[in-house]
Amino acid sequence: MARHTADLILNNGLIVTPGGVIEGGVAVAEGKIVAVGSDAFLPDGERRIDLAGKHVLPGVIDPEVHLGSHRPLADDFRTETRAAAAAGVTTWGLQLTSLFITGGADKVKGPADIPNFTGAMPSFYEAARSSVIDFFLTPIVSTEEHVEEIPRLAREHRITSFKIHLQMQGPWKPAWPHYAFDDGTIYSAFEAVAKLGPPALALLHCENWEIARVLENRLKAAGRTDKGAWDDRSPWITEAGHARTYLYYARVLGCPVYVVHATTKETLAEIDKAKAEGAVVYSEIGAHYLVLHKDAWKINVPLRDRRTHELLWSALASGAIDCIGSDHVAHTRTREAMETGNVWTTVSGFPSRVEGMFPMMLSEGVNKGRISIARLAQVASENPARIFGLYPKKGAIVPGADADLVVVDLKRKVKISREVLHTVTPWTIYDGWDVTGWPVMTMVRGHIVMEWPEGEPRARISDGSPGEYQQRKLAR
Amino acid sequence: MARHTADLILNNGLIVTPGGVIEGGVAVAEGKIVAVGSDAFLPDGERRIDLAGKHVLPGVIDPEVHLGSHRPLADDFRTETRAAAAAGVTTWGLQLTSLFITGGADKVKGPADIPNFTGAMPSFYEAARSSVIDFFLTPIVSTEEHVEEIPRLAREHRITSFKIHLQMQGPWKPAWPHYAFDDGTIYSAFEAVAKLGPPALALLHCENWEIARVLENRLKAAGRTDKGAWDDRSPWITEAGHARTYLYYARVLGCPVYVVHATTKETLAEIDKAKAEGAVVYSEIGAHYLVLHKDAWKINVPLRDRRTHELLWSALASGAIDCIGSDHVAHTRTREAMETGNVWTTVSGFPSRVEGMFPMMLSEGVNKGRISIARLAQVASENPARIFGLYPKKGAIVPGADADLVVVDLKRKVKISREVLHTVTPWTIYDGWDVTGWPVMTMVRGHIVMEWPEGEPRARISDGSPGEYQQRKLAR
Amino acid sequence: MARHTADLILNNGLIVTPGGVIEGGVAVAEGKIVAVGSDAFLPDGERRIDLAGKHVLPGVIDPEVHLGSHRPLADDFRTETRAAAAAGVTTWGLQLTSLFITGGADKVKGPADIPNFTGAMPSFYEAARSSVIDFFLTPIVSTEEHVEEIPRLAREHRITSFKIHLQMQGPWKPAWPHYAFDDGTIYSAFEAVAKLGPPALALLHCENWEIARVLENRLKAAGRTDKGAWDDRSPWITEAGHARTYLYYARVLGCPVYVVHATTKETLAEIDKAKAEGAVVYSEIGAHYLVLHKDAWKINVPLRDRRTHELLWSALASGAIDCIGSDHVAHTRTREAMETGNVWTTVSGFPSRVEGMFPMMLSEGVNKGRISIARLAQVASENPARIFGLYPKKGAIVPGADADLVVVDLKRKVKISREVLHTVTPWTIYDGWDVTGWPVMTMVRGHIVMEWPEGEPRARISDGSPGEYQQRKLAR
Amino acid sequence: MARHTADLILNNGLIVTPGGVIEGGVAVAEGKIVAVGSDAFLPDGERRIDLAGKHVLPGVIDPEVHLGSHRPLADDFRTETRAAAAAGVTTWGLQLTSLFITGGADKVKGPADIPNFTGAMPSFYEAARSSVIDFFLTPIVSTEEHVEEIPRLAREHRITSFKIHLQMQGPWKPAWPHYAFDDGTIYSAFEAVAKLGPPALALLHCENWEIARVLENRLKAAGRTDKGAWDDRSPWITEAGHARTYLYYARVLGCPVYVVHATTKETLAEIDKAKAEGAVVYSEIGAHYLVLHKDAWKINVPLRDRRTHELLWSALASGAIDCIGSDHVAHTRTREAMETGNVWTTVSGFPSRVEGMFPMMLSEGVNKGRISIARLAQVASENPARIFGLYPKKGAIVPGADADLVVVDLKRKVKISREVLHTVTPWTIYDGWDVTGWPVMTMVRGHIVMEWPEGEPRARISDGSPGEYQQRKLAR
């Protein structure tokens, strides 16, 4: 057998593999990992990069991003996948309503105007052509027609994850023209997903806005206008209540579920109970829920308090929470244009979630001892890959897998400002934060899409668009 | 950096790693795994073995063997470690009473004569000099003096696992001179183990012989003499009852426990409940409990029925059971000398458990679809390594780990007979069984200790004695 | 102390008291029970009735009746309270929407037109003037205004029970003009009831009609038109799902709840779980759910199958279900006018639930050994009295309590037909049934309101209207 | 029907019946209750006692007393049943080893010398001839022969309760010559009791003395000699551990169990879990466990701390604990002869448990709001009657039941001293306590056996011996 030369050797590093953190390196050829080993036993390579003791992790797989929500989808793909690459993300799970793909939400006059996904898919593929990272799609199922599309989306586009915005249930409303569904729709959706078999699963945003409505009225009546009132508007009961209800229906119907942003101990308790009853449940948390106090901004579900942060860190470290996800959204508004001084009129959501995610995990998590780097590789890459049907093509540093890698310098110090970031949004919630630990190289199937050499003001991002749509495995 | 030549390359195989089963090979140098990769990117090697598509797994870590129980310990070490190597075992966990090390059980006249372990350790090391595989020690704590030794055994000999033969509790008896302990002793032992911190743990043989005594009397009175009566003598309540009781004390005292041979669904249910209450519990099953009907022979705990076999296969596959263990014992008696035609006088225990274990897992497990080969690597190697404090030095095929490997030919057909086996015992319970799937090479830290070339009548075993005592990690 | 003469002595009977069934009799004076004892030691009485071994139970307290739903409330009060008295009921819990009191549902054009209860109460009292039995009111809370009335209704009218028709949640609909509420309304209602303190409680109709909608469409598409399809339209998941959700919110908010018609084992399982978590939950079953097969008629929640009947009998006997309730409704339509041969167009609900209830409990329950007569007294009288705040004034045969009594002849044979009944509705679902065991005398606070002498064609009902509104205890 | 004159009328009182506390009185004739009613409607009586507003409760049924443990059984029967009558007890459940009946424990040289119960019963009946109150027997099953006797004791003596001193298990010991049993014996006993059917049940003393042995050694080594060390010697784990184990075996074998003195929250938790799994479990607490701090004296199981007292009061009030029992023991030693200043040599057990029980329940319980008088009647009389198979002959004030009554003056003030008590033991643990609330009359089947007129120095006790042995119901 002829010995080959690899395209690239990363050596003298700490390689975070499923079997442990090993000293040595990784060989890459034709976009794949071809060897992992001690430096002295790695193959020759066209290019060799000395990691100088830095860590290499499997590229971050971020399952929750909402492109197209404020700008045309193609615009977001172009700018925001570069922001993601800057932060170590190599695969993005886009969670989109059909209107986020097609646009035209302002022209919807009733539920009949909500487009289906089958028709929207060509636009989706077209918009994604500029993506610098890999990506897959999680449709937000919002109508009965969307439920009916599930088998076809699975078969034709290898889509296996479907999201439900539980907070949006009820009759169609002009204020949220994307949605027209009720518990019956959800029941049918769970059935349809269950029928696909694992790894197909339903994602749930748990937050009972009917209860939040009552609490908001009380808070307004009490004169509250501070940002912290947002947490009081959607307290744990709104999140855990939905979890209790819909994990039950999902379990009965045999549908695996994934709770995006499980942010309260009561939600985690309901997840535990559902599992004990036989439900298959996964859960996710965003880094912002681990570091930002509820006074920082409004978002759904809300940011919580410091004590909850620590509880969530523990849950992530122990295995009670499975994944991290950015919930990234982009727009071009300034902070001043969004923040009114009154929580009820302040614009919801804040930047820059994807670029903050992995650095926060490194700085506040790994470097402060809240989570090991091996566990971080699981929650940021291996678990999302397994849960969303990308494993073992993605999610682990193992020969045969895609060469999706992120090199991390746990000692790199960065003061966050608009200038070091790549998102289109002109401000950041983390402005002025000093962090230690940052991704310094991102590779997508062997393409180096980001490098941040020591001393340069910010990362260099590739001009290429190697990103590819990821079809997923189907059970049957 | 100078490129090195490995000592050995195994290539063209299916490598069972923690990150998945990969096509390619493994490079070994100086007793360690130094690279895992696609064949074309493996380093040069002094020797190269073409696996021709066979699987390579991490060497089997068998946590339960009772050497010295019928012959001098040194004799057992010499012959039986070779039998173990023949069956893919690379590390053995010896579970010994102090008298199995020192001998002289016949001279014990009372509990004061039971030797301690501290004094017995030089004899243990001496007896082990002929071992062909690696090994560690799990003392069977049988007296209060043994409990008092726990911290010292941990500190001086890096012993972190301690077993309790719950069925033997009660006052000292000449028939079983090794033991003199009660619930107070167990309480103290759990405390002492808990104080060591993980991975220290207590192993429990669960079987209430006080209840078995009553049932045995009834069975005798009813005229039962068949081997199946042995299961009726120690039915599930005797095993699950002990589990319920001692997992509780262990949980309260913060002591992780490991249930050897969890053989009933009621035992597994108690383990589940204890876990839900916060206990740290692991469990093990022997391959013989998965394939041998209760009519086959007597043993403690008893063999069960076919329905239980399937339930236990499922538990092993799903994660409810963590490990496999052989419970191997050797002696020189013929079957005729042991079997009387009456279960009550028939000699308990049967050969050849260690040589049957891994082949049964391959033939009845992997090849019949009851367990994946990836899961087999977990229960046979990774989990024991993690639980007993040997990971990541052992337990996974990953660069940096000991080169403890077993090459498996899933298509190799073997008719089991005395002639293909290596144990000293002159008969086997599996006599005449046709199995498909057998280990064909075993490597201990780079030493090839067993090879069974296609066409030869049985495996060749190394004359060397590379086996080393394994000190384990201590939390503090 | 002067010895008094009682108004009435019932003697030579079997008196079902909380302390057991005793041989002897009961003395009544001024509407109260004044003595219970062996015949020879009872006081003198103005009148003496020889029970000839018949049983005396505390009068039935039926917590669930919907008067005014098809006829003016006053009309229903006049005829239907007499039907109730004929069947042993001495106190009725009316569960009414405000429109059932005020009438005019056809004129409601939107949620703002739904009347409140405070304004409706004078009409309620007026309509009730012809009642022959005692009664209390459970408003069906259907709007946010109704929630706001809760404290005042409690204070001014001593109302402590409030019902929620969970199946009706959602925006206001012309088809069901009584309702306009959501989870926020329910949340506020639970809070308001919790604030009143026990015995205040919320009653829940559990049945998820959003899911039923989907299933109905499927059943129609599959061509099903049989009555049994009604059970398939609202299977256990619709009932148990609501129980799981709303028992959770109620427990969190400290609101005791009462599940009307808990008809599936899964519902009972959710009730058990909620109790284990600290919820205060009671449950009720109608006699029709114990004896009528799902093919008999459509109703909400649906009738179930025979196996479920036995399960519910067991639950009632064992204590898992607390109360029985008739869910009685009256109208003047013939069977032919209601039954179309197609379940989807057949009119829902059937007569004659109140007159069938107690006889079915006697004939199918007591006389067939499914429930003891002592337990029947608990579920038909003592438990409703305790749960709804009427105890010990009502609910038990004990000196000092209201003389609300029902004399039962366990051997009386009756063939049910329109002619033996007293309801206004011109047909009965039980037509032609032969039953053994029937109430033969009903007494309300000492007034004999029903007597059915042996041999007469049907019971004689009093012309008087002694029925009184029952104010209830308030915790604070 | 001729009107009769009762033997005795108690009127103008508050009668605590299962249906509530009623104003009025009770009529007694021929040893039975013949009427309960308002005063004006009670029958004529030979004698009439004006209760002047005092409460009448059903006589206390104390299920746990150990006569014969320090004096001949007949001597204890004579003096101690009078002490019991003085404190409101009308039925005593004697829990006796066979040696407490036969005497001669000092002559037992081995397990073969332990007498059986069948042979001891004539002595038991003879010794009981002087009893002033009714009584039944609960044999303490201590050998396999005792287990074998169970069916015969049930059939011939209508014995349905059998106790096991779990702390005494193990081989025969001269220090406790009464016992020789193990888990096998217990297994057989549970089976035999289960076979009898309800109300047959096994009583369990839960306290793992093997663990206590270890803890005692540590406490002695640490120099502890204070009485509080006794609680540290047998902490909750010794009690809850036994509960966890033996409630499991009992549940599996279908044997109802009754935990005497359940004194820790962990024990109550295990009882809850066992119930949730289907076990039938009752529990008892002694009044001394509710009022005496662990520093007061040594006893088994130990007295606990103040916080536990309140927890146990709550459990008793809420229904988590079912019964109270005195655990009374008598002897003639002075306090000085028992108390050495060192807990390890101080004599275990203290007087005067039966005379302290009901007064403590009234003074510390009812009068301090910790338990209602209605609940007191349940735990002191109705529940023991139901559980031990005496209901409805005993346990409730209801016509037809035995006229076993205790009149209670909730305002009577008593300073406890040796002089107000009737036990033979010359001192009392409650010496000097001021209590409010005391029983002032006790009636056994119509016989007034105790009266304490206001102003007299202590109660007058009857010279008669109306006490009768109570045969119990058998299921089959």
Tens-binned pLDDT, residue by residue, of chain B (476 aa): 457 899 999 999 999 999 999 999 999 999 999 999 999 999 999 999 999 999 999 999 999 999 999 999 999 999 999 999 999 999 999 999 999 999 999 999 999 999 999 999 999 999 999 999 999 999 999 999 999 999 999 999 999 999 999 999 999 999 999 999 999 999 999 999 999 999 999 999 999 999 999 999 999 999 999 999 999 999 999 999 999 999 999 999 999 999 999 999 999 999 999 999 999 999 999 999 999 999 999 999 999 999 999 999 999 999 999 999 999 999 999 999 999 999 999 999 999 999 999 999 999 999 999 999 999 999 999 999 999 999 999 999 999 999 999 999 999 999 999 999 999 999 999 999 999 999 999 999 999 999 999 999 999 999 899 999 999 988 86
Using CB atoms, pick whichever of B184, B211, B244 lies closest to residue D210. Answer: B184
* Residue B2: predicted pLDDT: 52
**Pairing relationship of beta strands B161-165 and B201-205 according to DSSP bridges:** parallel
* Facing C399 at nearest CB: one of D2, D18, D38: D38
Quick one: pLDDT at residue D476?
66
* Nearest-10 crossing angle of helices B236-253, D236-253: 160
* C210, C248, C252 member nearest A182 (Cβ): C210
Residue D1 binned pLDDT confidence (cut-offs 50, 70, 90): very low
User: What's C59's DSSP letter?
Assistant: P
Tokens 């009389």 sit on residue: D381
For the stretch B328-360, pLDDT in tens is 999 999 999 999 999 999 999 999 999 999 999
D345 has a pLDDT exceeding 50: yes
Q: Which residue of D has its CA nearest to C12?
A: D1
Could you give the count of Cα atoms lying within 13 Å of C140 in the half-sphere of its Cβ?
Answer: 27
- CA B456/CA C121 separation, integer angstroms: 99
Task: Mark D42-80 as b/e (b = at least 16 C-beta within 10 Å).
Answer: bbebeebbebeebbbbbbbbbbbbbbbbbbebbbbbbbb
Closest CB from C185, C214, C244 relative to A184 = C214
Tokens of A120: 């929207």
Q: Tell me the β-bridge partners of D55.
A: D14, D408
Measuring CA to CA, which residue among B380, B385, B22, B386 is closest to residue A397?
Answer: B22
The tens digit of pLDDT for each residue in C160-188 reads: 999 999 999 999 999 999 999 999 999 99
Q: For chains D and A, tell me whether 3 or more CB atom pairs sit within 8 A of each other.
A: no
Rounded average pLDDT over C178-200: 97
* Euclidean distance between CA atoms B89 and B83, whole angstroms: 9
- In this complex, do B248 and D244 lie within 8 Å of one another by their Cβ atoms? yes
CA dist B468 and A216 (Å) reads 68
Q: Which of C14, C41, C49 is the mutation pick for testing D, counting most D CBs within 10 A?
A: C41
Supply the pLDDT for residue C2: 53
pLDDT tens track for D401-437: 999 999 999 999 999 999 999 999 999 999 999 999 9
Subunits in contact with chain C (3 or more CB pairs closer than 8 Å): A, D
Question: What does the pLDDT read at residue B156?
Answer: 97
Residue A1 has pLDDT above 50, yes or no: no
Residues of chain C contacting A111 with CB distance shorter than 8 Å: none
Q: B451 exposed, middle or buried (CB, 10 Å; 0-12, 13-18, 19+)?
A: middle
CA dihedral for A65, A67, A70, A75, sign (positive or negative): positive
Which pLDDT belongs to residue B44? 94
Question: Which among A211, A213, A217 is the top mutation candidate for probing chain C, defined by the most C β-carbons within 10 Å of its own β-carbon?
Answer: A211
Distance between A191 CA and the closest CA of chain C, angstroms: 12
Helix ranges restricted to H, B222-372: 229-233, 236-253, 265-276, 288-291, 306-318, 335-338, 353-360
Cis peptide before D89 (omega within 30 of 0): no
* D388 touches D44 (CB < 8 A): no
Chain D residues whose CB is inside 8 A of the B213 CB are: 182, 184
Radius of gyration of chain D (CA): 22
Among residues B291, B321, B324, the alpha carbon closest in space to that of B416 is found at B291
Spatial distance between the Cα atoms of A41 and A401, rounded to a whole number of angstroms: 19
Average pLDDT of every residue of chain A: 97
Q: Which of A170, A267, A216 has its CA nearest to residue C248?
A: A267
Does residue C1 have a pLDDT over 50? no
> Which residues on adjacent β-strands are paired with residue D203?
D163, D258
Q: Which candidate, A289, A298, A166, A288, places its Cα nearest to that of A219?
A: A298
Q: Which of B17, B43, B398 sits opposite A43 (nearest CB)?
A: B43
Q: What pLDDT does residue D475 have?
A: 79
DSSP B45-84: EEEEEE-TT-EEEEPEEEEEE-TTSSS-HHHHHHHHHHHH
Instruction: State pLDDT tens for residues D285-326.
Output: 999 999 999 999 999 999 999 999 999 999 999 999 999 999
Instruction: Give the mutation candidate from D148, D209, D210 for the B interface (greatest B CB count, under 10 A).
Output: D210
- What is the average pLDDT value for chain D, to the nearest integer? 97
Distance CA A356, CA A348 (A): 18
Give the CA diameter of chain B. Answer: 79
Min Cα distance B172 → chain D (Å) is 11
Report pLDDT for B1: 47
Q: For chain B, which residues lie within 8 Å of any Cβ of chain A, measuring from their own Cβ?
A: 1-4, 6, 11, 15, 17-20, 22-24, 27, 29, 32, 34-44, 276, 391-392, 396-401
